[in-house]
Amino acid sequence: MIDKKAIEEHIRGILVALGDDPDREGLIDTPKRVANMYEEVFAGMNYTNHELAEMLDKTFEEGLDDVEAGRVVVMKDIDLFSYCEHHMALMYDMKATVAYIPKCKVIGLSKIARICDMVGRRLQLQEKIGRDIADVLSEITGSEDVAVILEGCHSCVSARGIKKTNTKTLTVELRGEFKTDSSLQLYLR
């Protein structure tokens, strides 16, 4: 679990290290506010992928035994954010496209967005977000045919270092039929 008291102490120390006074009016509650924010934005760190799959396992099987082959479920433009593990910098304006080929069950659509949200709430790399979303979705649906495309901006690129403000990063995780059948990739555009 996230240790908010330790975060408060460390943020206070950072303020001192920056040469500011953590007891001045504008900063006095900052350590507590940062700890509360971290508890929220890093909530996904409290769960493994397997635990997320157990929490979000809401599927429907009725009437799916006669679904014809070739059925694809795609959700596009799912908003999410995360934080880069290298700089603790915000990965923002992220959009996910998540697709899978149902086997004998489908997942509730809101659960796909929730998977993206909870996986995003960790310190990590964008490539790992796509892999983790695919892992959780695969575990819940039983389908190995999964695709996750993420496009996002990174403040570690736009606000510091190279300072390229219009740069976007695209990552693609293709599994099963999405990897071998290029016609399925048309659904991901």
Known catalytic residue at 153: no
pLDDT in tens, 92-123: 999 999 999 998 889 999 999 999 999 999 99
Known catalytic residue at 86: yes
pLDDT at residue 130 above 80?
yes
Known catalytic residue at 50: no
Q: Please report the DSSP string for 76-99 in residue order.
A: EEEEEEEEETTT-PEEEEEEEEEE
Known catalytic residue at 87: yes
Catalytic residue among 8, 124, 153, 154: 154
Catalytic residue among 40, 50, 54, 86: 86
pTM for the structure as a whole:
0.93
pLDDT-derived band at 71 (thresholds 50, 70, 90) equals confident
pLDDT score recorded for residue 105:
87
Residue 13's φ and ψ, nearest 5 degrees, are -65, -40
pLDDT score recorded for residue 65:
61
User: By percentage, how much of the chain surpasses pLDDT 70?
Assistant: 95
